[in-house]
Structures are given as C-alpha cells and as structure tokens.
Amino acid sequence: MRRVVVTGLGMINSVGHDKESAFKAICEGECGIDTITLFDPEAFSVKIAGEVKDFDPATVMPAKEVKKADRFIHLGLKAAQEAMADAALPEDTDMDRFGISAGSGIGGLPSIERNSVILENRGPRRISPFFIPGALVNMLGGFVSIEHGTRGPNLSSVTACAAGTHAVSEACKTIMCGGADKMLVVAAESAVTGVGVGGFAAMKALSTRNDDPKHASRPFDKDRDGFVMGEGAAALVLETYEDAVARGAKIYGEIIGFGESGDANHITTPSLDGPARAMKAAYAMAGKPKIDYVNAHGTSTPINDKNETAAVKDLLGGKENCPPVSSIKGQIGHCLGAAGGIEAVTCLMAMRDGIIPPTINYETPDENCDLDYVTEGARKAELNVVMSNSFGFGGTNGVLIFKKI
C-alpha cells in the first residue's frame, strides 16, 4: 500500500474564516456560539448555534452564480480554495489522477426548506431550477472539482456526523489502492435552518441554554444537556508520500490508520461497542503506536461523552494509559458532517504547532468522564501521533490516526 500524507489544509467555522485564525481562536478557547441570526428563532425551543458570521459567498464564486449552490457548497468552496493554495501544487500536476472526496451529513437543507415552502405556497412551477443541482450532497464535490479541474474519482460520503472523517478515509483508500495519486477532501455543512434546528430540538438532542450560549456546549461536563449545532467546512489535500517528497512539499502529517464500524444498535443512540471497534481497527492499522492526543467526538450529549470516554479507556487498557483528550465542540458547536474534516485539520495543526486545544466550559466533573480533558486551557505538548474520532446517527463510526513526519 502506498503511504498517504497531507500537504494542504483549509478551514472555516464560527470562530474563523481561515485555518490560521480559526485554529488560533480554538486554542484560545474562543466561542462562536450565539443567538441564531440565519432565521428568526423566536418560536423555537432552541435559539442558539455556531454560525459562520459575515461570510459573503460572492468571495468564493461569481455573484451571479451564488444562487446556483447551497450555503454548504459556498463554505466548502472557501475551504477547498485555501487548501489548494496551501498545497502549492505544480502546474503540471496530472489532473486525471487527482480526485475529490466530499462529505456532508445533510447537504442543502436550506434549499430543501425554501423550495418546500415555495411548493406549498406558490405551486410546483415556482420551484427553482437550481434547487436539485444546488442541494445534492455530491454537488459539493461537483462544484469543487469543476473549479479546480480535478478529473479523477469524484466520491461523496453521506454518513451523518462521521461524513467528514469517512471522506478522509475514502480518499486515503483511493490513493493507497492506486485509484488516484492525489485527492482533495472537502467536508461541509450548513443546516442551521428552521427545519434543521427544529428537527434536532424535537429529538431533545440540543442544548437549551438559550440564555447562556457561550457555555451551552460543554463536552464531558456533568451538566451537559445536548449539543449545539454549528456550521462550517474543511479541506485537506492528500497525496502519496513519494510525490510530496519529490516536489519538496510541506507535509503536515501522514495518515497511518483509519477505522470504521457500525453499531447495529439504535438509529440515534450511540453504543460503546461500535466506537470502540472503530478505534481498535484504526489503532491496529497504525501499528498500535503511542498516541499523544485524542481529539474526541465529544458532542456534549450525556450518552456520547460517557461512552466515548469508556471506549478510549478500553482501547488503551485503562485510564492510567490514556493521553490527553479534548473536544473543540465547546468552541464551534457540532458541525455535523463537516465536524470530522474540521477536527482532522485541527489535529494536523496541533501536531504542527505542538499544542493541544482545550475543552472549554468544563466546570463540574462527571464520574463517568474521568480522563484528562485539557480543561485549563491549551497545552503545549510534543505531538507525534494523534487520533480523531467521529460517530454518527445510524451507528456509523470513523476514526483517523495521523503521524508527524
């Protein structure tokens, strides 16, 4: 199997419009969660989210084209542009051997909501002709591939909150098996709409701390009461180790392990066994290295955080063997299908800078969540191997392990 490395990164979320500003804000414990402005939340039981503020889609595509794509695609284009620029690929790159691996949990929910209202109130003839091509999940990869001219495999992962992580592992497999020499991974989500927030709220999955949004997402804290929706995107350029070295590319890290599993348990309630098996598969593939940091799925929900803690301890043989663990969802909320991509970028930047992002809003210890969650602020550390976890509705799990080169 060919070795796969990461040579370009891009990121946008509620605390920053580029990877450097967003990572700095995450490490400084800034919180991008606030009262929703993308729609009027007055009638909703949940009124908070981690929105990407002051983002103009006309900065990533021609203004006259903006209406042809949903907001999740706009955000994905932004992250992809940054990652491609960061990778600094040579002009003679073989684009027939350069593919796309996209990920989103829901895709164009704003467009679906908007055109459903049009159908109900104004009839089928008033539905936008751009609705379907602008809302389909795979159109994220479609728009990005057209912009950058990638003509290799064009893949999409639609696996709920594990989609971004699965998009990375699918890209990695494609390169390892010789299906492409380079892959651009892009994960994006923008589901902060009335039907999105209302739907998750109806499930009792969201925090209702409307009066204190900055402290609503509190991973591993005893008083956590649900996740907070976020939005954003991330992108990673993957290529063979040989190609990266030959062209003198900056290498953020190597993907040495990935694991996938299914809970076969419940459509929304996560199990302990499923995530544990995904972690074990990634760990075994990586050769069971010493893990220096775990970027947790850490959603701030009662069951996930407890089960994930237990799964990490099971993987490494007890609390005493576990490295620092943290979740950045206190800062940016849960970006659903984009979360795994954003967290992969965060892990690679953490290795680059030798710093572990903190878990913010941890105030009251939970006896079921008893690991070192880096609650005192960002921590300097030598990071050579890091693990990133993502678990989604439907019992779909993905885990990535990166190694510093």
Query: Which residues are identified as catalytic?
Result: 161, 297, 334
Q: Read off the tokens for 120.
A: 């109900």
Which element (helix H / strand E) includes 48? Answer: strand 48-49
Give me the sheet containing 293-295, strands edge to edge.
154-157, 98-103, 182-189, 232-240, 4-12, 253-262, 396-403, 385-392, 293-295, 325-326
DSSP letter for 337, please: G
The dihedral formed by the CA atoms of 198, 201, 206 and 209, expressed in degrees to the nearest 10: 90
Place of tokens 């109900």: 120
Nearest to 342 by CA among 3, 4, 14, 5: 14
Rounded CA gap, 228 and 150, in Å? 35
Q: Read off the tokens for 278.
A: 């995904």
Give the CA angle between residues 92, 102, 158 to the nearest 5°. Answer: 160
Nearest to 341 by CA among 159, 181, 210, 119: 159
Q: Read off the tokens for 280.
A: 């074990």
Q: What are phi and psi of 375, to 5 degrees?
A: -90, -5
> DSSP of 49-117, one letter per residue?
EB--TT--GGGTS-GGGGGGS-HHHHHHHHHHHHHHHHHT--TT--GGGEEEEEE-SS--HHHHHHHHH
Nearest to 311 by CA among 356, 263, 359: 263
Q: Which amino acid is at 297?
A: H
Q: What are phi and psi of 259, to 5 degrees?
A: -140, 145
Distance of CA 273 to the CA centre of its chain: 22
Q: Environment class of residue 58 by beta-carbon count within 10 Å: exposed (0-12), middle (13-18) or buried (19+)?
A: exposed
